Amino acid sequence: MSQFFTADSFKIEGKDPLVVRFTGERITYIGRTETERKPYQYRVTLRYVERTQQNPYGLVVSSVEQTEIPSASFPSPQSKN
């Protein structure tokens, strides 16, 4: 079983802390068979830390929120031109 998330859009909601909201689809596979495709929204909060060689951007994820979007309010990829 594996899951993938493909982001369709993102929005930066804040700068300190840095907050980014992604919307897209989470697709679940068992073997090579797709078993589920659901729209989700992720809200990721990052905090700034001192830059290091191991962390050259100086960002650390401090929280992740996951919310399933009702299918009726999420446009299907087939309807895009």
- pLDDT score, position 80: 45
User: 80 in a domain, yes or no?
Assistant: no
| Residue 28 confidence (pLDDT) | 95
What pLDDT, on the 0 to 100 scale, is given for residue 21? 96
pLDDT at position 70 is 85
Is this model's pTM higher than 0.85 or not?
no
Q: What's the average pLDDT block by block, 10 residues per block, for the chain (81 residues)?
A: 94 92 94 93 96 96 94 57 42
On whether residue 38 sits in a domain, the answer given is: yes
Domain presence at residue 81: no
Residue 24 lies in a domain: yes
**Domains identified in the chain, total number:** 1
| Phi, psi torsion values for 69, nearest 5 degrees | -95, 135
Which residue segment(s) compose the domain that 58 sits in?
2-71
Quick check: is 23 in a domain? Answer: yes
